[in-house]
Amino acid sequence: MLTREDTGAVARLTMNAPERLNALSDEMLTALADTFADLEDDTAIRAVVLAGAGRAFCAGHDLKQMQAKRQDEDHGAAAWHDLFVRCSAVMQQIQRVPQPVIAEVHGVAAAAGCQLVASCDMAVAAVGTRFGVNGVNIGLFCSTPMVALSRVMPRKRVFEMLTTGRLIEAEEALDLGLVNRVVPADALADATMELAQTVAGKLGSAVRVGKRAFYDQAEMPLAAAYEHTGKVMVQNMLDADTDEGITAFLDKRPPGWSQD
């Protein structure tokens, strides 16, 4: 369902349900939640890649499972509520884990799959990848996916996608800030790993505190954000490895950090 392969300080997670286009089924959400929970305490891992097996990154929620929940008590309302709560928790969990998470996207990222891309810290997409929050085409407005998208893309463009169901190409997703890079399909895995390894090569303690501060300050008024990040920088400066990093820079030598 979800495989993990560690290469040095990079963990590569692959959603492995290609016959369902890696839909966010109950099982997939559980696997993602459990794996990200493991990563929260894994100091050996400093960057994470999230990919999808087969011909798509992720097609969104598992519609067959969603329809089956209609047979549950109260016409599935409680079951659907539980599904969306768990999915939203996973999206927030991605931004809570200390390691930067990079989506490696190909084929299609639709509905909750597009939400997944928007929830990752960065994303690399293959040429030809399409993105959309196209639930409106089947009468289901992508209300939860729009939370992540409206925080990383211009709102009017997000609203257009939500109300028209139009899929956008990778190059447009790049222009709108949904992805960081667009590369040829045969270079996707290497380009994503190169980015992940670059991030993993930085001081882990600095990136961890920086990622948390990045999301915290984004929710604050301007003055409060500066006050908070000033305190974070003081905390960062007190780190012995930061002391070594600055001293090494001034001495024009590589840093001898205590962390691997």
| SS (HEC) of 24-91 | ECHHHHHHHHHHHHHHHCCCCCCEEEEEECCCCCECCECHHHHHHHHHCHHHHHHHHHHHHHHHHHHH
Amino acid of residue 77: A
The per-residue pLDDT for 70 is: 83
**Element (DSSP H or E) covering residue 215:** helix 204-218
| CA–CA distance, 255 with 69 (Å, rounded to integer) | 56
- How much of the chain, in percent, has pLDDT values that exceed 90? 94
**Element (DSSP H or E) covering residue 254:** none
The per-residue pLDDT for 181 is: 98
The per-residue pLDDT for 78 is: 87
Burial of residue 99 (number of CB atoms within 10 Å: 0-12, 13-18, 19+): buried
Residue 137 reports pLDDT greater than 70 = yes
Mean predicted confidence (pLDDT) in 91-106: 98
User: In terms of Cα–Cα distance, which of 147, 167, 169, 150 is closest to 158?
Assistant: 150
Domain covering 204-250 in this structure, CATH number:
1.10.12
The per-residue pLDDT for 76 is: 72
Residue 115 dihedral angles phi and psi, to the nearest 5°: -60, -40
| CA–CA distance, 178 with 78 (Å, rounded to integer) | 32
User: In terms of Cα–Cα distance, which of 162, 192, 16 is closest to 101?
Assistant: 192
The pLDDT tens digits of the residues spanning 239-257 come to 999 999 999 999 999 999 9
The pLDDT tens digits of the residues spanning 154-194 come to 999 999 999 999 999 999 999 999 999 999 999 999 999 99
Fold category of 2-200 in CATH: 2-enoyl-CoA Hydratase; Chain A, domain 1 (3.90.226)
The per-residue pLDDT for 74 is: 59
Every domain of the chain and the residues it spans: 2-200, 204-250
User: In terms of Cα–Cα distance, which of 80, 115, 109 is closest to 95?
Assistant: 115
* Confidence tier at 134 by pLDDT (50, 70, 90): very high
Q: What is the mean pLDDT of the chain?
A: 96
Nearest 5°: CA angle at 201, between 196 and 207? Answer: 85
Residues 6+ apart with CB under 8 A from 73: none
The per-residue pLDDT for 36 is: 98
Residue 64 reports pLDDT greater than 80 = yes
The per-residue pLDDT for 75 is: 63
**What does DSSP assign to residue 257?**
-
The per-residue pLDDT for 254 is: 94
* Confidence tier at 225 by pLDDT (50, 70, 90): very high
Residue 83 reports pLDDT greater than 90 = yes
Asked if 1 and 34 count as a contact pair (C-beta separation under 8 A), the reply is no
